[in-house]
Chain A
Amino acid sequence: METSLEPPSGPGSGISSPASSPATGSGIAAVASNSPVSDVRRFLLARGNSALADRIFSLLMLACAASIFCIVAFIASELISQSQMSWHASGLAFFYKFNVDPQTGLPLFWDPVNGVFYALPFLYGTLVSSLVALVIAVPLAVGVAIFLTEMCPRFLRGPLAFLTELLAAIPSVVYGLWAIFILVPLLREHINPILIDTFGAPLVVRLFGWTGLVGDNGLFGGVNLGLGLLTAGVILAIMILPIIASLTREVMSTVPHSQREAALALGATRWEMIRIAVLRNARIGIVGSIILGLGRALGETMAVAMVIGNTAEIHRSLLSTGHSMASVIANEFAEATSDLHRSALVEIGLALFVVTILVNGLARLLVWAVTRSNPVRVN
């Protein structure tokens, strides 16, 4: 029974080792002095009563933890098996091919009635709306993070952090509701006319016409509906702002104070200190948080589905309507007309799954690299 007592281990492993040893140790002492029992019974008392329960318990907890792997495997296998039909029908061409409409001569990507299923406009819509979101959200988020960590008076810090947290907790469908009734009219009446006038001004067209981004066929040409890729991008920006801001703040607060003090001691102004000491040291983590925001923007469904306009077309103008990968699934899946239609939608979902896994994995690795290891850099 002496052998059942384990040598004391380090503080880290002490938790994970079976705890039966001290318990049974005292139990044996009591048993041995009071009553004559057989060696077998003594052995059972020593090892049996809690060692088995501990084993079962730890295995049960392991099973719970391992269920996370199972979920990922299950999602992947279900998506792959359900998208087989579409994959066999068009293969990789699913993501870049299109038919030409015989009557209008325009490209035809997606026509459930006639069984045409190519996903290019959805990739385009997701990518463009997410990029618009990043262009708007990143400078604002980094600005907020700088303000909160470096400039903010102490009494404002708590409430502001709480407000950004609230922004993250609002459900997607409420953002969509707000966007339909407030943001869309606002953009249509006030913001879009300014953009159209600026980018359509004769001087701008003469100077930048060669880029193809200005004028009637440019980024801000065409019909001003209020709905469209730009609106989707704006609402996405509002939604991913708190994510990027809070992670950037976290990364910035891991920069050691000695770095800031060193910069200030060399005579830097506050902004120079932020640039040299904080942003330089935290840049990998900031990139990580931006990518994490991108991952969220790519998969955001409801708000986008409510304002993007839901047309499977590709236009250069950001004011034109479009469709994103998530929004087409949300709109059409429950009412899919044929098995091929449903299978094509699942294949879009599979693509979304793979892309978000890659993007999120990359972002997590970057954020971890900064917050886990010592972020101090000499150069």
Chain B
Amino acid sequence: MKAAIQQNRMRNALRAATDHLATGLAILATLLVVAPLFAIFGYLIYKGASSLNLAFFTQIPKPEGEVGGGMANAIVGSGVLLAIASCLGVPIGIGGGIYLAEFGRGTRLANAIRFTADVLNGVPSIVMGIAVYALIVFREKHFSAFSGGVALGIMMIPTVTRTTEEMLLMVPNSIREAALGLGVPNWRSVLSITLKTASPGVITGCMLAFARVAGETAPLLFTALGNQFWSVSLNQPIAALPLQIYIYAISPYDDQHRLAWAGALVLIALIVIAVSLVRYVASRGILKGAS
């Protein structure tokens, strides 16, 4: 009897110890995950902030080995590329989302499209780059800003489609029914009632896709190619911030490493602002204005 109680007590102590051990390991894992994040941000701010100056935003790159210069052309180039990408990706993506949420809900076709969009989201960006290279660069025989924008735009479509769909599904049916009951045609009801109600969510979804492609380098390597000089022509190779960071990071010059850190800081700042905005809007809920 006494031995059994003793044994039981031992076992419970062991169970409690296992429980504590598991808790400790989970906390350790969390710390290990958060650590690189702080390390990355810390170094970015430490190295990037000391290299940021006015010249970074106003000058174009100096020839290799010379000190100074900036990334003005890369910042403008990224803007041009993202503008092309948004013109292509946002309307098509929102249209696709409207179809999934409003017209194809529950149909087999919509499920197939949704599944394909998710899978397409996981296709490596460099594959996207090769495909656009084959479509545009290979046929036109030269690298161009246009082809880079198209590659980024194609990458935006699945993300925008899925977030638009999710946001539209959150709009209550009573709002749709009210619009239809007032005699509004369906297309107007979708565009100016449903989509408008969900617009904060849809816009943040677009911004998320935007932030994602803003940092993409791989599809630009052989479409936009990069450019050391000023160019905003859609038919010429164009510089882009992530491309320039890549080129400078693998270069042997200290001054270019410095510029790479500064560029990375600017890029990250843009992306963090976008993500925080998304989170802020999402936490407020999309329907605050509507209900």
Chain A residues proximal to chain B, CB less than 8 Å: 11-12, 14-16, 18-20, 22-23, 26-27, 49-50, 53-54, 56-58, 60-69, 71-72, 74-75, 78-79, 81-82, 139-144, 146-148, 151, 160, 162-167, 169-178, 180-182, 238, 241-242, 245, 269-272, 274, 292, 295-296, 298-302, 306, 326, 329-330, 333-334, 345-346, 349, 352-353, 356-357, 359-361, 363-364
Task: List, in ascending order, chain A residues with CB within 8 A of B25's CB.
Answer: 143
* A178-B173 contact given A23-B185, A170-B268, A171-B271, CB 8 Å threshold: no
Residues of B within 8 A of A (CB): 15-16, 18-19, 21-23, 25-30, 32-34, 36-37, 39-40, 43-44, 47, 91-96, 98-100, 102-106, 110, 112-113, 115-128, 130-131, 133-135, 138, 154, 157-158, 161, 173, 176-177, 180-181, 183-187, 189-190, 211-212, 214-218, 221-222, 225, 242, 245-246, 249-250, 257, 260-261, 264, 267-268, 271-272, 274-275, 279
- Whether B126 and A61, one on each chain, are in contact in the complex, defined by CB atoms closer than 8 angstroms, is no
Q: A327: nearest residue on chain B (CB-CB)?
A: B126
Ordered by A's residue number, 5 sampled pairs between the chains whose C-beta atoms are within 8 Å are A15-B176, A50-B185, A64-B96, A272-B18, A356-B124
Q: Which residue of A lies closest to B134 (CB)?
A: A78
Give the chain A neighbours of B115 by CB distance below 8 A. 361, 364
**B34 in contact with A160 (CB, 8 Å):** yes
Contact between B215 and A64, CB atoms less than 8 A apart: no
CA distance A272 to B103 in the complex (A): 46
Interfacial chain A residues near B29, Cβ < 8 Å: 139-144, 147
* Contacting pair A54 B267 (CB below 8 A): no
Contacts of A15 in B (CB 8 A): 102, 105, 173, 176
B30 touches A74 (CB 8 A): no
A27 touches B183 (CB 8 A): yes
Chain A residues, CB < 8 A from B98: 61, 64
**Cα distance A151–B21 in the bound complex, in angstroms:** 13
Contacting pair B118 A360 (CB below 8 A): yes
The minimal Cβ–Cβ distance linking A73 to chain B, given in whole angstroms, is 10
Determine which of A53, A165, A174 lies in contact with B279 in the assembled complex, contact meaning CB atoms within 8 Å.
A165
Number of A-B residue pairs at CB separation under 8 A? 300
Cα of A295 to Cα of B119 in the assembled complex, Å: 10
**In the complex the two chains form, what is the Cα distance from A256 to B21 in whole Å?**
25
Residue of A with least CB distance to B179: A19
Once the chains bind, are A169 and B271 in contact (CB under 8 Å)?
yes
- How far apart are A225's CB and chain B's nearest CB, in angstroms? 15
Query: Quick check: A274 and B22 within 8 Å, CB to CB?
Result: yes
Nearest 3 CB-CB pairings of A with B? A171-B215, A299-B124, A143-B29
**Pair B189/A74 contact, Cβ less than 8 Å:** no
Do A62 and B39 touch (CB < 8 A)? no
The residues of B that contact A11 with a CB separation of less than 8 Å are 173
Is the beta-carbon distance between A292 and B99 smaller than 8 angstroms? no
Question: B190, A57: Cβ atoms under 8 Å?
Answer: yes
Cβ-defined contact, A180 with B187, below 8 A: no
Q: Are B118 and A64 in contact (CB under 8 A)?
A: no
User: A360 CA to B124 CA in the complex, in Å?
Assistant: 11
A141–B33 Cα distance when bound, in Å, is 8
Who on chain B is nearest to A81 by CB? B134
Establish whether residues A306 and B249, one from each chain, have CB atoms under 8 Å apart when the complex forms: yes
Report the minimal beta-carbon distance from B56 to chain A, rounded to whole angstroms: 16
Say yes or no: B180 contacts A68, CB within 8 Å.
Answer: no
If A82-B134, A181-B257 touch, whether A144 touches B173 (CB-CB below 8 Å) is no
A241 vs B122: C-alpha distance when bound (angstroms): 15
Residues of B within 8 A of A12 (CB): 105-106
B275 touches A182 (CB 8 A): no
Chain A residues, Cβ within 8 Å of B121: 360
Across the interface, which residues of B come within 8 angstroms of A349, CB to CB?
126-127, 130
Structural contact, B185 and A20, CB atoms closer than 8 A:
yes
Beyond A141-B29, A180-B249, A334-B221, 6 additional contacts (C-beta under 8 Å) are A18-B186, A82-B130, A178-B39, A272-B19, A301-B218, A360-B118
Residues of A within 8 A of B43 (CB): 178, 181-182
Q: Complex formed: what's the CA distance from A173 to B261 in Å?
A: 11
Q: Give the CA-CA distance A299 to B219 in the complex, in Å.
A: 12
Report the bound CA distance from A334 to B126 in whole Å: 12
Report how far A141 CA is from B126 CA in the complex, Å: 26
Shortest beta-carbon distance, A352 to chain B, in Å? 6
CB within 8 Å for A174 and B264 given contacts A330-B218, A357-B119:
yes
Judge whether B123 and A178 touch: CB under 8 Å.
Answer: no
Residues of A within 8 A of B158 (CB): 68
Q: With A172-B217, A352-B124 given, is the CB distance from A66 to B113 under 8 Å?
A: yes
A71 to B260, CA, bound (A): 33
CB-defined contacts of B189 to chain A, threshold 8 Å:
19
B267 and A171 form a contact (CB under 8 A)? yes
- Contact between chains at B122 and A50 (CB < 8 Å): no
Instruction: Choose among B44, B92, B116, B181 the residue that contacts A174 (Cβ–Cβ < 8 A).
Output: B44
Tell me the nearest residue of chain A to B260, going by C-beta.
A177
The answer to whether A61 and B99 have CB atoms under 8 Å apart is: yes
Q: Find chain A residues with CB under 8 A from B112 CB.
A: 69
In the assembled complex, the Cα of A33 lies from the Cα of B126 at a distance in Å of 65
Contact A333 B257, beta carbon cutoff 8 Å: no
Least distance between A291 CB and chain B CB atoms (Å): 10
In the docked arrangement, what's the CA distance between A29 and B47, Å?
73
Inter-chain contacts of B212 with A (CB < 8 A): 169
